């Protein structure tokens, strides 16, 4: 399939988390010039952490963008030059207070490729050991242990509604 060609780019906002730009592009079939609004966002990790009893560690936190408290998989941004597997270890400890002995890559996917550059690296973390919890990062996060067999019902009844968590949990269940 022919690709769109960028004619020009204009950066309209550079923030701590996202950068916003407008691309003027040429449509390959018609030659028409149109715009694309792009959110640049760094890559992140999404973690399916399963304890020795077969429970997934989920986090409940308020998300201002949607105005709701969501039940999600732990996730977080990858620091510059940080290996994604190392980011898994750091983020899991920061958000749940557990360190994984084993970290395995399951998959990867774009969060919302129609307008955002964010790529999510999905990992399975097992062999969980209690570790120090970072209070400054978790004051508004509650950790919940959920039996894996309950996950399909939580997705079906709308208790888990974010795409990264649904995709990650279903992929992990398929793997098991």
Catalytic annotation, residues: 136
SS3 labels along the chain: CCCCEEEEEEEEEECCCEEEEEEEEECCCCCCEEEEEEEEECCEEEEEEECCCCEEEEEEEEECCCCEEEEECCEEECCCCCCHHHHHHHHHHHHHCEEEEEEEEEEEEECCCCCECCEEEEEEEEEEEECCCCHHHHCCEEEEEEEHHHHHHHHHCCCCCCHHHHHHHHHHHHHC
């Amino acid at each position: 399939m022919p690709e769109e060609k960028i004619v020009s780019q204009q950066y309209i906002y550079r923030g701590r988390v996202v950068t916003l730009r407008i691309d003027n592009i040429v449509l390959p079939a018609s030659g028409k010039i149109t715009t694309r609004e792009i959110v640049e966002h760094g890559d992140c990790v999404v973690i399916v952490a399963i304890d020795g009893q077969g429970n997934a560690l989920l986090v409940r936190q308020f998300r201002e963008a949607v105005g709701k408290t969501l039940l999600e998989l732990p996730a977080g941004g990858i620091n510059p030059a940080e290996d994604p597997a190392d980011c898994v270890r750091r983020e899991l400890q920061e958000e749940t207070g557990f360190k994984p002995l084993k970290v395995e890559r399951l998959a990867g996917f774009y969060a919302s490729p129609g307008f955002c550059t964010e790529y999510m690296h999905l990992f399975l973390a097992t062999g969980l050991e209690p570790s120090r919890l970072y209070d400054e990062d978790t004051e508004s996060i509650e950790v919940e242990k959920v039996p894996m067999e309950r996950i399909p019902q939580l997705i079906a009844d709308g208790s888990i509604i974010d795409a990264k968590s649904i995709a990650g949990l279903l992929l992990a269940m398929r793997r098991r």
